[in-house]
Amino acid sequence: MLSCNYCHAFAKHSGFISYRGRMRFALINSGLGLLATASELNKLRPDADLVIAMDPDGMPWGPRTPEDIAGRSLAMARMTAAYEPDVIIMACNTGTVHALDVLRAEFEPGIPVVGTVPGIKPAAAAARTVAIWATVATTASDYQRRLIAEFGGGAAVTPVACPGLATAVDAGDGDGIAIAIADAASRTPAGCGAVVLGCTEYELAADLIASAVPGAILFGTAAAVAAQALRRTVREPASATIAGPDLSPVTGVSAGTLTVLLSGRLGKLPEAALRYRQGRELALLTPGREPASGRADRDATTALL
């Protein structure tokens, strides 16, 4: 049984939060898939603090049961809540499927929770033939079949399982990435107009994927999720008349910080993260400070053991 009385009370009863104009975002993923969204947030709000929580002790999440994924996601979210984020982002497709409702029940309305959904709808609107590259588990899931039925429109949509690609990206294994991409490209219909990146890790290899499927437009999620997270930072009551957040990049401000949690332990970006542009950009940020309360971190870390 996962327990964190401090975080539960904070999420349920604190109401809206004021950080004296400084934003803070928490991102969750079992591996490196959160780097793309974190990088987009840093571009839009370089003054914002980022707390990224990965689960190297429990990855990959794909083979785990839905209950286990939800439990680990909740424990990680509780750890990030100690840093009092404006928004918690589940920057993982698998985590969104199995844990988004649990996280929203725990933290909203005190802390908004944003999930990640593959961009099937815009891809189907842009091309007549669409391929969805995803993990083996996601490709076989009822969840993806429902998304295709709901958002595929009149496009011919082909699911393409990508065994080993997410694992290779998380490991920074260049040879493994190349082999997995070549395999998936060989099973992608010729002349495909759009490829949906159905796993957040794949965005870190977007250039290689684009080269392997020439002529196809890639549809990732990082930019859209970052924009949605910024929209959710508006903390006034819904009845108030307010303008939406400015989504143009902010310049001329002090840089935000980066806090890295590795299965609950404070740490640094994994070496594999530095193989990617997004990871190298984030590594330049100043390390973040300790949370206001250490108790929530310890309780939630225990739940991941």
Inform me whether the pLDDT recorded for 222 exceeds 70: yes
In the beta sheet, which residues pair with residue 50? 25, 258
Whether 112 and 9 map to the same domain: the answer is yes
Whether 31 and 97 map to the same domain: the answer is yes
- What is the Cα Rg of the chain in Å? 19
Q: Which of 84, 141, 101 is nearest to 118 (CA)?
A: 141
Q: Which of 154, 189, 220 is the last residue of a domain?
A: 220
Inform me whether the pLDDT recorded for 7 exceeds 50: no
Whether 196 and 251 map to the same domain: the answer is no
Whether 97 and 170 map to the same domain: the answer is no
The least confident of 58-67, 130-139, 248-257 is 248-257
Q: What is the mean pLDDT of residues 109-113?
A: 95
Whether 108 and 13 map to the same domain: the answer is yes
Query: CB-side exposure of 50: number of CA atoms within 13 Å?
Result: 37
Whether 93 and 23 map to the same domain: the answer is yes
Whether 100 and 242 map to the same domain: the answer is yes
SS3 188: coil
Whether 105 and 249 map to the same domain: the answer is yes
SS3 162: coil
Q: Which of 220, 239, 272 is the last residue of a domain?
A: 220
Residue 228 in tokens: 């949605």
Higher local confidence (pLDDT), 68 or 9: 68
Helix or strand holding residue 121 (H, E): helix 120-126
- pTM comes to 0.84
In the predicted model, what is the mean pLDDT of the chain?
A: 86
Please state the separation of Cα 29 from the chain's center in Å: 6
The boundaries of the domain holding residue 127 are 120-220
Whether 159 and 252 map to the same domain: the answer is no
Whether 9 and 112 map to the same domain: the answer is yes
Whether 282 and 133 map to the same domain: the answer is no
pLDDT at 290: 74
Q: Which of 200, 220, 240 is the last residue of a domain?
A: 220
Inform me whether the pLDDT recorded for 240 exceeds 50: no
**Cβ neighbours of residue 113 closer than 8 Å, sequence gap 6 or more:** 77, 87, 88, 89, 90, 100, 103, 104, 107
Catalytic residues: 92, 199
pLDDT at 304: 63
pLDDT at 238: 40
CATH code (residue 40): 3.40.50.1860
Q: Are 42 and 256 in contact (CB under 8 A)?
A: yes
Whether 109 and 253 map to the same domain: the answer is yes
Please state the separation of Cα 200 from the chain's center in Å: 6
Q: How many domains does the chain have?
A: 2
pLDDT at 239: 39
Inform me whether the pLDDT recorded for 20 exceeds 80: no
pLDDT in tens, 258-278: 999 999 999 999 999 999 999
